[in-house]
Amino acid sequence: MEKQLALPNVVLIEPKPVSEELLLKVHTKELVERTKRQWYWRGAVLSVGGMVEALEMVYDGRLRNALVFDVAAGHHAGPSSAWGGTYLSLTGPAVVNLREKHRRDIKVAILDTDAHHGDGTRAVFRGDKNTLHVCFCYHSTVEEDGTKVCVGLGWAVGDQDYMERVKQEFIPRAKEFKPEIVIHLLGHDTCIGDYGDRGLSPEFFPKLVEVVKQCAEEVCGGRYVVASHGGYRRDVAEYIFPKIIEVLASR
Ligand SMILES: [Zn+2]
Ligand SMILES: [Zn+2]
């Protein structure tokens, strides 16, 4: 269902739950059965369903960009284990679906700027040279011919340092990799006072989206999907997401 919002070129789309068949292309049967019995199952399957649809629509040009609101799915969910508030993979099923509908070798870049290491995402895309995964976390590592990268941030960073690291560590890699679409797992747990505090101000997040959007314009015709990730400060969420939508909707 699509609903027009106040901004002229923005629509709200209510997601459909992801199919179990698609989940089983990424997760083990045991994980799916176990998760199905939990209270967060509904939120997780709707979040993944939203991501599946967003990726398809942005890839084939029905939408220019998308922001996916995510609960209970995300970057700590691997093929057979999941933790940390994320119990199904958000990106795995969406990328599998996209490749099945179009081409097996679609190149996807995943940028993870949540405070924590995206262990689940890394496990899902392990060995997949067509997926660039750049994760801003604790320890710097470069694996699999530079397609699996972690950027250790150290403890003291603020807006300026963080942005510099994104410009140094993600943008050149994306330009070299030449993805056809960019997915951005955007946690705001990195905000001052949140549980993954990296000294970032609320104003930082829309600016980050502006920079990554510009990069997507240069590398993949602007195909860019943002998904919410960790963060418990409600005031920050209420401030940043309308601003992020404005950035995505601007030309
Ligand atoms: Zn986190
Ligand atoms: Zn990492």
In the reported structure, the alpha carbon of residue 89 is separated from the centroid of ligand 1 by a whole-number distance in angstroms of: 14
Query: What was the pLDDT predicted at 157?
Result: 85
In the reported structure, the alpha carbon of residue 236 is separated from the centroid of ligand 1 by a whole-number distance in angstroms of: 15
DSSP for the chain? Answer: -EEE-SSTT-EEEPPPPPPHHHHTTTS-HHHHHHHHTSTTHHHHHHHHHHHHHHHHHHHTTSSSEEEE--SSBSTTB-SS-BBTTB-B-SHHHHHHHHHHHS-TT--EEEEE-SSS--HHHHHHTTT-TTEEEEEEESS-EEEGGGTEEEEE--S---HHHHHHHHHHHTHHHHHHH--SEEEEEE--TTBTTSTT--SB-TTHHHHHHHHHHHHHHHHHTT-EEEEE-S---HHHHHHHHHHHHHHHH--
Query: Which range of residues forms the domain containing residue 142?
Result: 2-249
From first to last of its 251 residues, the chain has per-residue pLDDT tens of 677 777 889 999 999 999 999 999 999 999 999 999 999 999 999 999 999 999 999 999 999 999 999 999 999 999 999 999 999 999 999 999 999 999 999 999 999 999 999 999 999 999 999 999 999 999 999 999 999 999 999 876 899 999 999 999 999 999 999 999 999 999 999 999 999 999 999 999 999 999 999 999 999 999 999 999 999 999 999 999 999 999 999 98
CATH number at 60 reads 3.40.800.20
Return the ligand number nearest the Cα of 117: 2
In the reported structure, the alpha carbon of residue 64 is separated from the centroid of ligand 1 by a whole-number distance in angstroms of: 27
In the reported structure, the alpha carbon of residue 14 is separated from the centroid of ligand 2 by a whole-number distance in angstroms of: 31
In the reported structure, the alpha carbon of residue 194 is separated from the centroid of ligand 1 by a whole-number distance in angstroms of: 10
Q: pTM score, two decimals? A: 0.97
Query: What was the pLDDT predicted at 156?
Result: 63
In the reported structure, the alpha carbon of residue 153 is separated from the centroid of ligand 1 by a whole-number distance in angstroms of: 14
Query: What was the pLDDT predicted at 251?
Result: 80
Return the ligand number nearest the Cα of 133: 2
Return the ligand number nearest the Cα of 136: 2
Query: What was the pLDDT predicted at 8?
Result: 82
Query: What was the pLDDT predicted at 29?
Result: 98
How many domains is the chain built from?
Answer: 1
In the reported structure, the alpha carbon of residue 231 is separated from the centroid of ligand 1 by a whole-number distance in angstroms of: 7
Return the ligand number nearest the Cα of 121: 2
